[in-house]
């Protein structure tokens, strides 16, 4: 018998996921001695034993790994035999230069749920039950390695029973850093707005469920922030919440007790069901069923609804004690501001919204909004990539310098990267608001601290007035790299499809706005793109925006701008449109157009869809981002006849005035739903024609689509069909949001490769 010793280093998501206990178990099962410990980026393992036993150990290491883990690389080296007598878990090493990978939060597992419902178990009805395979991770970590003292659980020393489980190798909570029980862990309490404690522990759950059933609004503190919760079947409660938030039409997400309940109000396929049940538990956007038993106030005038199912012990226990099977569950924040995470903050900021508060007493270190996903053209599309997925590593197709992308202005994220690894932050939001701007800066600091990456290059938007751009310039100095918004979209698409460093594609970028190099607002672009540069090969017609951003908020203004040269003055004045300040506002807008004053030019695809929504009397005011276009899509879903609107493309420009004029000409002779469908279809066909023409002229085989308009299933599907029929490969996003949440990744790639690193 010949004893061997091997040093094994495992990198990936291997901390905070029960990896060391797992290694301990398979080492014992294979008769090996040695140790395992967290060591900077990796988990370090030393095994001593017979060669066959070590080989079996390595097989088990890869194929039986814990469900929350992700192995990127396993390195093995022959090591000198030290004569270990057993196998042990050693104390973690501190390495200030290591960029470890932090595990995301995960839904409570079936084993812990079983304990929570076992009246003989000490975790009975205890909502903070967790083990090595589940529970909060990123939301409660303050530094690495992922040990209890570096998390919010530091404030909750383990009781004797938990300590015993922690040390017992046969227990599922063996070395579980977040484990606790009612004797030593966090406590729930239910309070009113005066901070009076009405109930605690499981009684707080029972009373909270009663209040929700009784049409109260309750602010519920979860893993990573507060939600505002009410009964989803109650028009009164939902409308009360909507009015309190001053969100006249913005759709609310709901949480259903289980997938069977979801089927009672939404259409769901196998892929969508799998997403709902995944350990990440995202919000999944589903089509409403024909019979919709929930309040119409949840998603006014939309055909779909965002749905999730319980992911914490608190959620499960609330439904167990409630008559309602579906709750409205929306992030607790005022419009444009970050989600509330602190008890005192909730009591002060939500006092005019929530009637009651279900609180717990552990600190949330990193706020994380819920992830939102929609199936578009048969593929998963991230609308918001956050809880459950952040901060998973994104593997890059080539190595780059240490860099950061600070994102655009709206719906922003931050990405930090080094070599072949990138880490995209949780959703941050609208940095025009001071509080969100400060949150953005804090996220940058947190990512730097947790990844141990010090960026040398700072990628930012081309727009000089963005807070994010100014921030990058202030910190990055000469290392600041300005990246055009739509080039960043296409580069993120290239990374998402793992295209090699020398790739060229024709990229279609369709969205609301992005600062163009010619000083206009872009948003309907066809680019020949590489990782390092781009050329604008085609675009939508540049149209006037009377009053600038006002035309994006009130699409009737945009419509007048688009039809100004196509209709007679009398026809423009007789168009049945909505203006906030009445007909006098129409006169001012027409005067601006006539004299060419206070106008901004845009090629935005979103503004075309907004204008169509105004013309068809579907939407006249954008109270939330994308509202007119989303309502247009919902009306278009009802169509049974496609009207073949002519598409005019000349010299690389799609004539959107002619599109809107053709729509105008047919208003009295066709159904609104058919017209809505047809304008989407014509826009998609026109854009596809521009892209195909560019690809043929430049001998490029791949055409891709990015930008917020890509969430429209009809438009994406139509472009895909046309591109494939023309013999080209068509790519869309897989793991990265096609909206502005993916822009920071494009920025970091352009910045990090700006010195030709490959």
The per-residue pLDDT for range 677-697, each reduced to its tens digit, is: 999 999 999 999 999 999 999
Percent of the chain with pLDDT over 90: 87
Q: Catalytic one among 38, 366, 411, 467? A: 38
Antiparallel, parallel or unpaired: β 326-331 and 226-231: antiparallel
| Residue pair 487/529 in contact by the 8 Å Cβ criterion | yes
Burial grade of 477 (CB within 10 A; 0-12, 13-18, 19 or more): exposed
| Residue pair 639/714 in contact by the 8 Å Cβ criterion | no
Cα dihedral sign, 194-197-201-206: negative
Return d(Cα 382, Cα 179) in angstroms, integer: 31
| Residue pair 545/601 in contact by the 8 Å Cβ criterion | yes
The per-residue pLDDT for range 605-651, each reduced to its tens digit, is: 999 999 999 999 999 999 999 999 999 999 999 999 889 999 999 99
- What average pLDDT does the segment 259-287 reach? 97
For residue 125, pLDDT beyond 70: yes
Beta bridge partners of 450: none
- What average pLDDT does the segment 500-517 reach? 96
Encoding tokens for residue 150?
């570096």
Return d(Cα 724, Cα 703) in angstroms, integer: 9
Lowest-confidence region among 37-51, 341-355, 572-586: 37-51
pLDDT at 471: 97
Encoding tokens for residue 656?
């959107």
CA proximity to 643, closest of 671, 675, 613: 675
How sure is the predictor about 168, in pLDDT bands with cuts at 50, 70 and 90? confident
Rg (Cα) of the chain, in Å, rounded? 27
Q: How many CA atoms lie within 13 A of 532 on its CB side?
A: 12
CA proximity to 299, closest of 607, 624, 614: 624
CA 630 to chain centre: 18
CA proximity to 64, closest of 28, 26, 37: 26
Cite the beta strand spans of 541-608 per DSSP E.
543-546, 599-602
Question: In sequence order, what DSSP letters do the residues of 287-298 get, joined into one string?
Answer: EBPSS--S-TTS
The answer for residues whose C-beta is within 8 angstroms of residue 110's C-beta and 6 or more apart is none
Encoding tokens for residue 445?
């600091």
How sure is the predictor about 757, in pLDDT bands with cuts at 50, 70 and 90? very low
The answer for residues whose C-beta is within 8 angstroms of residue 106's C-beta and 6 or more apart is 68, 133, 134, 135, 137, 279, 280, 388
Percent of the chain with pLDDT over 70: 98
- What average pLDDT does the segment 117-121 reach? 97
Return d(Cα 327, Cα 299) in angstroms, integer: 13
pLDDT at 758: 39
Q: How many CA atoms lie within 13 A of 408 on its CB side?
A: 20
| Residue pair 502/489 in contact by the 8 Å Cβ criterion | no
**For this structure, is 446 an active site residue?**
no
Encoding tokens for residue 707?
């930008």
Encoding tokens for residue 312?
């914490």
Residue-range domain boundaries for the chain:
3-89, 188-360, 391-492+740-758, 538-731
Q: Catalytic one among 6, 20, 242, 536? A: 20
pLDDT at 17: 82
Q: Which residue has the higher pLDDT, 38 or 125?
A: 125
Say whether domain 538-731 belongs to CATH 3.30.420.40.
Answer: yes
The per-residue pLDDT for range 340-390, each reduced to its tens digit, is: 999 999 999 999 999 999 999 999 999 999 999 999 999 999 999 999 999
How sure is the predictor about 174, in pLDDT bands with cuts at 50, 70 and 90? confident
- Fold for the domain defined by 3-89: Alpha-Beta Plaits (3.30.70)
- Fold for the domain defined by 188-360: DHBP synthase (3.90.870)
The answer for residues whose C-beta is within 8 angstroms of residue 13's C-beta and 6 or more apart is 68, 69, 70, 101, 103, 392, 393
**For this structure, is 192 an active site residue?**
no
Burial grade of 121 (CB within 10 A; 0-12, 13-18, 19 or more): middle
Return d(Cα 329, Cα 311) in angstroms, integer: 13
In this structure, which CATH number among 3.30.1330.10, 3.90.1150.10, 3.30.420.360, 3.30.565.10 belongs to the domain 391-492+740-758? 3.30.420.360
Which 3 state secondary structure label does DSSP give 580?
coil
How sure is the predictor about 306, in pLDDT bands with cuts at 50, 70 and 90? very high
Encoding tokens for residue 225?
């922030």
- What average pLDDT does the segment 660-668 reach? 96
pLDDT at 39: 79
3-89 against 391-492+740-758: fold identical: no
Which 3 state secondary structure label does DSSP give 100?
coil
For residue 755, pLDDT beyond 90: no
How sure is the predictor about 547, in pLDDT bands with cuts at 50, 70 and 90? very high
pLDDT at 1: 65
Beta bridge partners of 709: none
- What average pLDDT does the segment 401-406 reach? 98
pLDDT at 333: 85
- What average pLDDT does the segment 431-438 reach? 94
pLDDT at 667: 95
Return d(Cα 392, Cα 103) in angstroms, integer: 7
pLDDT at 213: 97
pLDDT at 95: 55
Mean pLDDT across the chain, nearest whole number?
94
How sure is the predictor about 207, in pLDDT bands with cuts at 50, 70 and 90? very high
């Amino acid at each position: 018998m010949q004893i061997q010793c091997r040093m094994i280093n495992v990198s990936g998501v291997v901390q905070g996921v029960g990896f060391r206990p797992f290694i301990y178990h398979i080492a014992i099962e294979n008769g090996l001695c040695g140790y395992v410990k967290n060591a900077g980026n990796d988990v370090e393992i030393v095994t001593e034993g017979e060669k066959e036993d070590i080989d079996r150990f390595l097989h088990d290491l890869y194929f039986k790994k814990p469900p929350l883990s992700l192995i990127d690389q396993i390195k093995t080296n022959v090591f000198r035999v030290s004569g270990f007598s057993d196998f042990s878990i050693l104390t973690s090493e501190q390495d200030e230069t290591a960029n470890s990978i932090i595990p995301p939060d995960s839904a409570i597992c079936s084993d812990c749920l079983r304990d929570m419902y076992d009246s003989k178990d000490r975790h009975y009805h205890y909502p903070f039950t967790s083990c090595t395979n589940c529970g909060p991770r990123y939301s409660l970590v303050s530094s690495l390695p992922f040990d209890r003292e570096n998390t919010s659980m530091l404030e909750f020393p383990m009781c004797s029973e938990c300590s015993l489980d922690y040390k017992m190798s046969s227990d599922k909570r063996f070395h579980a850093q977040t484990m606790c029980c009612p004797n030593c862990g966090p406590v729930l309490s239910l309070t009113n707005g005066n901070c009076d404690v009405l109930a605690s522990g499981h009684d707080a759950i029972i009373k909270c469920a009663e209040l929700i059933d009784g049409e109260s609004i309750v602010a519920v503190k979860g893993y990573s922030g507060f939600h505002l919760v009410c009964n989803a079947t109650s028009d009164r409660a939902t409308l009360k919440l909507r009015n309190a938030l001053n969100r006249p039409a913005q759709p609310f997400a709901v949480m259903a007790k289980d997938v069977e309940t979801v089927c009672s109000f939404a259409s769901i396929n196998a892929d969508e069901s799998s997403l709902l049940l995944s350990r990440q538990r995202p919000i999944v956007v589903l089509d409403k069923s024909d019979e919709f038993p929930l309040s119409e106030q949840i998603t006014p005038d939309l055909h779909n609804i965002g749905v999730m199912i319980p992911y914490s012990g608190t959620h499960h226990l609330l439904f167990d004690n409630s008559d309602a099977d579906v709750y409205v569950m929306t992030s607790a924040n005022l419009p444009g501001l970050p989600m509330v995470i602190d008890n005192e903050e909730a009591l002060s900021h939500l006092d005019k919204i929530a009637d009651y508060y279900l609180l717990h007493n552990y600190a949330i270190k990193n706020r994380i909004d819920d992830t939102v996903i929609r199936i578009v053209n048969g593929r998963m599309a991230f609308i918001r990539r956050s809880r459950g997925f952040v901060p998973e590593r994104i593997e890059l197709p080539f190595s780059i310098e240490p860099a950061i992308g600070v994102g655009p202005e709206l719906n922003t994220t931050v990405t930090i990267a080094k070599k072949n690894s990138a880490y995209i932050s949780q959703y941050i939001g609208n940095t025009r608001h001071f509080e969100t701007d400060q949150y953005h800066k804090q996220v940058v600091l947190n990512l730097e601290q947790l990844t141990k990456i010090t960026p040398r290059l700072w990628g930012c938007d081309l727009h000089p007035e963005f807070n994010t751009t100014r921030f990058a310039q202030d910190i990055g100095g000469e290392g600041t790299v300005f990246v055009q918004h739509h080039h960043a979209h296409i580069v993120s698409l290239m990374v998402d499809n793992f295209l090699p460093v020398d790739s060229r594609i024709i990229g279609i970028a369709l969205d609301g706005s992005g600062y163009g190099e010619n000083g206009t607002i872009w948003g309907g672009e066809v680019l020949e793109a590489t990782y390092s540069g781009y050329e604008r090969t085609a675009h939508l017609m540049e149209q006037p925006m009377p009053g600038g951003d006002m035309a994006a908020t009130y699409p009737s203004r945009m419509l007048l701008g688009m039809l100004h040269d196509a209709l007679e003055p009398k026809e423009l004045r007789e168009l049945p449109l909505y203006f906030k300040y009445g007909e006098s506002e129409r006169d001012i807008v027409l005067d601006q157009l006539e004299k060419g004053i206070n106008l901004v030019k845009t090629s935005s695809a979103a503004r075309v869809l907004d204008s169509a929504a105004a013309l068809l009397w579907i939407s006249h005011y954008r109270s939330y981002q994308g509202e007119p276009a989303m309502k247009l899509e919902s009306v278009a879903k009802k169509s049974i006849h496609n009207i073949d609107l002519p598409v005019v493309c000349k010299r690389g420009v799609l004539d959107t005035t002619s599109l809107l004029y053709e729509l105008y000409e047919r208003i009295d002779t066709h159904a609104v739903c058919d017209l809505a469908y047809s304008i989407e279809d014509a826009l998609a066909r026109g854009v596809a024609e521009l892209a195909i023409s560019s690809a043929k002229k430049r001998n490029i085989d791949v055409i891709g689509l990015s930008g917020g308009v890509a969430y429209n299933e009809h438009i994406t599907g139509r472009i895909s069909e046309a591109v494939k029929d023309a013999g080209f490969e068509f790519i869309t996003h897989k793991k990265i949001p096609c909206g502005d949440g993916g822009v920071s990744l494009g920025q970091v790639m352009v910045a990090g490769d700006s010195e030709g690193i490959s």
